[in-house]
């Protein structure tokens, strides 16, 4: 976390007195930390080096928060949406990307297993 905190502070200092999208930077920070813990490497948001896939995944999560808040109290509807979007669409992209990242991490940490 110290590494990401240093990167965030560096990025804030680079603004040199100009307004910064602090909420956006905090979201980047949290997603980089979560990715590093889950997959062993950050998504590159804090440094500004994120991939197109990572940005698409983040947009999917953040853009869908309002709708999820409105529909969350209808559990059957949320389950149906979850199932349908996991077959195709943004959640499938997220699942595929996550599985690939996890395979890569396991290959590094457990080379005796074949993936």
Residues 57 and 107 in one domain: yes
pTM of the model: 0.62
Asked whether 64 and 76 are in contact (CB, 8 A), the reply is no
Domain containing 38 equals 1-50
- Residue 37's SS3 state is helix
Residue 115 pLDDT greater than 60, yes or no: no
Residues 60 and 113 in one domain: yes
Residue 50 pLDDT greater than 90, yes or no: no
- What pLDDT was estimated at residue 5? 92
The span from the CA of 12 to the CA of 18, in Å, is 9
Residue 33 pLDDT greater than 90, yes or no: yes
Q: DSSP alpha helices (H): ranges in 1-115?
A: 2-14, 22-39, 52-63, 65-71, 75-87, 90-109
Residues 44 and 62 in one domain: no
Number of domains in the chain: 2
Residues 98 and 114 in one domain: yes
Residues 43 and 5 in one domain: yes
């Amino acid at each position: 976390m110290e590494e990401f905190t240093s990167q965030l502070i560096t990025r804030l200092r680079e603004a040199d007195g100009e307004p910064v999208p602090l909420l956006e930077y905090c979201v980047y920070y949290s997603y980089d930390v979560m990715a590093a813990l889950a997959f062993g490497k950050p998504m590159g948001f804090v440094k500004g080096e994120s991939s197109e896939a990572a940005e698409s995944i983040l947009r999917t999560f953040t853009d869908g928060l309002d709708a999820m808040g409105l529909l969350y109290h209808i559990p059957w509807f949320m389950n149906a949406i979850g199932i349908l979007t996991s077959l195709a669409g943004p959640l499938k992209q997220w699942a595929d990307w996550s599985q690939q990242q996890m395979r890569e991490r396991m290959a590094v940490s457990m080379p005796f297993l074949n993936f």
